[in-house]
Amino acid sequence: MKKKADELGLQAFIAEAGPFAAELRILRERAARGHTVPFVTYEPARRAEPAFVLPGVKSLVAVAMPYHDLAGGPIARYARGPDYHQVLHAKLETLSRWLEENAGTAARTTIAVDTTPLIDRAVAARAGLGFYGKHGGIITYRWGSLVTLGTLLTTLSLRPDPPLESRCGACDLCIQACPTGAIVAPGEVDPLRCLSTWTQMRGSLPDWVRPALGTRVFGCDTCQEVCPYNTPHLPPPPPRNHNPASGAGSESDEDHCQELCGLATMDEATFQDTLAHTAAGWRGRNVLRRNAAVALGNLGDRRALPVLDQLVEHDPSPVVREHADWARTQIRNHGKKTGL
């Protein structure tokens, strides 16, 4: 089965399917502290019990699919390219069929790719697919934490793999690098301090969040990018010839400015063609346009002012108008400056 997963470009490890008692305790403690992700509405008890997802489940196949070859940019790596939920789901369907055909006995399977209450990271840790990093992500040996996770639940009894010990050691680079101090304890991210969460929230962004977002438009890669387990897999950052003495910025800043202007003004047809079918598309066009307007304010490039004026005066979305107005005030007050 692992060989088949390998052929599909995945890594697969196996865990037994008992309840996740330690994770349930942690989820409840975090909920009591208000550290809950606003988009995850499942009851903790359902998240920690694989049998809720597949009655009679005996084994969990934890899988990882890499996205390490993507270059950096305003959209977080995991959310670029075709929506990973669909890509991984299709691969898991193939793996599931293979498993059923080769099991020699009748079996039921269910696929989970962020689509069931099950905590994919807890499954991955139990199966030894990776270990929990202090940034809260699962670190695999082969691809670091630059992976998307999924689980195949099956009524087959498969031999489990041993879990891995944490290999973070004394490193705390991700905790130091987080611009908002969102990693409040090793392995614990406060979702309401995490910029990735805020890029996905609808409505008006709080004042403290806007400058902190820098030029991020969807998600945040910062704690992943500094992790020594990821750096060997990341392509080198593109050269940026920024000259702080110049009010207009450099050519690469101009490209960046144009890219963000394009995102802030994208029409529905462009959104459907480019981003609607990626993992960044799920919150809709105006959340991304709002974030791009904020990013322009943080980039501080005066060349964006005509676009921002246009948005403030004519955009049908009140949220986009409000954030474009904030952005042009930033640029007018501070001129050229860089984001975080």
The residue behind tokens 């962004």 is 205
305-324 residues in contact with ligand SF4 (CB under 6 A) are none
CB 111 within 8 A of CB 152: yes
Report the 10 Å Cβ neighbour count for 152. Answer: 27
Number of residues located near ligand SF4, criterion CB under 6 A: 23
Would you count residue 226 as binding ligand SF4 (CB under 6 A)?
A: yes
Would you count residue 133 as binding ligand SF4 (CB under 6 A)?
A: yes
Closest contact distance (angstroms) between CB of 6 and ligand SF4 is 25
Closest contact distance (angstroms) between CB of 185 and ligand SF4 is 12
In the complex, residue closest to ligand SF4 by CB: 133
Report the 10 Å Cβ neighbour count for 302. Answer: 15
Residue 99 or 164 having the CB closest to ligand SF4: 164
- The correct pick among 38, 82, 162, 228 for binding ligand SF4 (CB under 6 A) is 228
- The correct pick among 222, 265, 291, 298 for binding ligand SF4 (CB under 6 A) is 222
Closest contact distance (angstroms) between CB of 8 and ligand SF4 is 27
Residue 273 DSSP code: H
Map residue 84 onto helix, strand or coil. Answer: helix
Question: Can you list the alpha helix ranges (DSSP code H) found in the chain?
Answer: 2-7, 21-32, 44-47, 50-53, 84-102, 120-127, 173-177, 195-198, 209-212, 222-225, 251-264, 268-274, 285-299, 305-314, 318-334
Q: How far apart are CA 270 and CA 263, in angstroms?
A: 9
Would you count residue 227 as binding ligand SF4 (CB under 6 A)?
A: yes
157-216 residues in contact with ligand SF4 (CB under 6 A) are 168, 171-174, 178, 180, 182-183, 189, 194-196
The residue behind tokens 């403030």 is 312
Q: How far apart are CA 290 and CA 320, in angstroms?
A: 5
- In this structure, what token pair is assigned to residue 144? 């670091």
Question: Which residues lie below 8 Å from residue 237, measured CB to CB, with a gap of 6+?
Answer: 72
Map residue 85 onto helix, strand or coil. Answer: helix
Closest contact distance (angstroms) between CB of 283 and ligand SF4 is 16
114 is catalytic: yes
Selected catalytic residue, list 6, 69, 83, 114: 114
- The correct pick among 223, 296, 320, 331 for binding ligand SF4 (CB under 6 A) is 223
Residue 8 or 139 having the CB closest to ligand SF4: 139
Would you count residue 249 as binding ligand SF4 (CB under 6 A)?
A: no
Chain residues binding ligand SF4 by CB under 6 A are: 133-135, 168, 171-174, 178, 180, 182-183, 189, 194-196, 220, 222-223, 226-229
Catalytic (active-site) positions: 114
